[in-house]
A and B are shown apart, each in its own frame.
Chain A
């Protein structure tokens, strides 16, 4: 058999992650261990894990390709994905840590002990995670197909089996460490390429810009190569900056640390890592534009996803290509693993544990349910990804961000900051936000294209924008507002006092009651 360095590096990554899972599995007895790794991660560990959970293949391969092919417009993603962490840090992370336990639904249910509220929050978490996961798995399938020459079905199958194994046996602890290892690999790989790119430009950033200036008839460095409709650009940026703070797979990471202060430290640490990474995407994109060239990038993959691996090959030959491909593989694994865990927690903890068993399931039943749910979520995702092979599903990532911003964020923010907010408002916000966003995407150019084969359906889109955010986000907030104002049930002042105290003082303000100690 032909010696393929990429193959052995892939194997090495699989081996390392399985060792992690083996050690994590030995500790896997309690529900809190499964969902939150016992809440025992340190600030920097969780910071790296957040970065590993967040920097998806779409960021690494997609943004590098977008910048290489569209110049400035590709960089919008880098900026939006980063600034979004200010929303997380300033408004969401600490209240979430102080109010929630395992899931985002826990946080909203801390204020509204209402089955409908929990159900809606769980459904949103599942929808967002599955949308995101299908995009990742389809991307993984075509990527591994390109890198290792395996068939699409086999590629999806391998990633799918691995993610299921990590979560089922290793729970949140394995998930976190897979994400930490991936974050370090991704930062290392990106740094090496960045240095190689810079060395080719004589370590002069000005020189790099000078050299790229003439591309695309001198338009490469100017905004407007990709996004021609101003409102669509604004809409994209809106979903990027507000979406992160509503993404369940990012938010549940805050339950893995012991308190709000550590949650804060982990966001700050993550923001530094993520920021440095997104700065480097510029060098990846520019390097690919200069040393691979737009034609070769488009020839390998129309969307530009091969820009970074091809750049690695151009700069460092076969071994560099193998290394960057392995980094991309680790990237995909870490993200889908986080998504499986998130969707499984919503099924097992919110729907089974709280709604069906009314919080009375034993520790063993909870862990078994979580494992079954992980298996179920993995199977469903693999089947959906296999049937979506020929579809262009890249839009599912922006759909996930838009749903997060339109359906989840209003409920999260109002729960913490609005005294008048009611359970009805929370439900209307979540339901209307979800339905509006999905409906708008269904009638947009992401799903309908007059040219056959360009989108899922052939035809003229009714909704003119690709990104629904600018319409769906205000509608989500307004629905939460309207549901509150129109609901007959008055808001519960005493409950909001409790939320205020718990949000701002943390659990120190409330001595653990005996009841709590028995159930948890």
Chain B
């Protein structure tokens, strides 16, 4: 196989391991966070009435929490985009170091 890269060697290289570690320590807690934030809404509305209290006029906390899910989603898109740019740079460094 002409030109097949040595995957095992790249996978074990310190720079690549660093990239994996950086990704993991970003993706795992962020995913846990958005899933927890998301499920907090149906759990709170299904098992309690705490969110039924008014927040602003007739708008209850349930709605405020519901809208905050949109803000959270867009914010996490932004955060991901900027972090991913750093991962891209790290990946480029691995590729260049490899050659």
- Report the bound CA distance from A502 to B5 in whole Å: 10
Nearest B-chain residue to A496, judged by Cβ: B11
Shortest distance from the beta carbon of A460 to any chain B beta carbon, whole Å: 24
**A79 with B66, Cβ < 8 A, contacts A261-B88, A513-B4 known:** yes
- Report the bound CA distance from A80 to B66 in whole Å: 10
- Report the bound CA distance from A76 to B65 in whole Å: 12
| A-facing residues in B46-70 (Cβ within 8 Å) | 46-47, 51-52, 56-60, 62-63, 66-67, 69-70
Chain B: interface residue count, which band? 35 or more
**A90 with B45, Cβ < 8 A, contacts A79-B38, A511-B3 known:** no
- Report the bound CA distance from A82 to B37 in whole Å: 13
Pick the contact of A90: B27, B51, B52 (CB < 8 A): B27
Which of chain A's residues have a CB closer than 8 A to the CB of B41?
Answer: 79, 237
Shortest distance from the beta carbon of B41 to any chain A beta carbon, whole Å: 7
B11 near A234 with CB under 8 A, answer no
**A272 with B77, Cβ < 8 A, contacts A206-B59, A221-B58, A510-B4 known:** yes
Which of chain B's residues have a CB closer than 8 A to the CB of A89?
Answer: 76-77, 80
Shortest distance from the beta carbon of A473 to any chain B beta carbon, whole Å: 12
Which of chain B's residues have a CB closer than 8 A to the CB of A216?
Answer: none
Q: How many residues of chain A have a CB within 8 Å of chain B?
A: 59
A230 near B77 with CB under 8 A, answer no
Which of chain A's residues have a CB closer than 8 A to the CB of B73?
Answer: 82-83, 85-86, 271, 275
**Within 8 Å of chain B (Cβ to Cβ): is A1?**
no
- Report the bound CA distance from A498 to B16 in whole Å: 12
Shortest distance from the beta carbon of B82 to any chain A beta carbon, whole Å: 11
Pick the contact of A209: B57, B70, B72 (CB < 8 A): B57
Shortest distance from the beta carbon of A510 to any chain B beta carbon, whole Å: 5
- Report the bound CA distance from A94 to B47 in whole Å: 37
- Report the bound CA distance from A279 to B1 in whole Å: 53
Which of chain A's residues have a CB closer than 8 A to the CB of B45?
Answer: 72, 223-224, 233
**Within 8 Å of chain B (Cβ to Cβ): is A497?**
yes
| B-facing residues in A430-470 (Cβ within 8 Å) | none
**Within 8 Å of chain A (Cβ to Cβ): is B23?**
yes
- Report the bound CA distance from A223 to B62 in whole Å: 8
A497 near B46 with CB under 8 A, answer no
**Within 8 Å of chain B (Cβ to Cβ): is A5?**
no
A279 near B70 with CB under 8 A, answer yes
Nearest B-chain residue to A82, judged by Cβ: B73
Which of chain B's residues have a CB closer than 8 A to the CB of A234?
Answer: 39, 42-43, 46
Which of chain A's residues have a CB closer than 8 A to the CB of B66?
Answer: 72, 75, 79
Which of chain B's residues have a CB closer than 8 A to the CB of A497?
Answer: 7-8, 10-12
A86 near B34 with CB under 8 A, answer yes
Shortest distance from the beta carbon of B29 to any chain A beta carbon, whole Å: 11
A514 near B2 with CB under 8 A, answer yes
- One digit per residue, 1 when the CB lies within 8 angstroms of any chain B CB and 0 when it does not, for chain A 485-520 equals 000000000100110111011101111111100000
**Within 8 Å of chain B (Cβ to Cβ): is A42?**
no
Which of chain B's residues have a CB closer than 8 A to the CB of A222?
Answer: 52, 60, 62
Q: Mind listing 5 A-B residue pairs with CB under 8 Å?
A: A206-B58, A234-B46, A497-B7, A501-B11, A505-B10
Which 5 A/B pairs are nearest by Cβ-Cβ distance? Answer: A230-B46, A223-B45, A497-B11, A511-B3, A209-B58
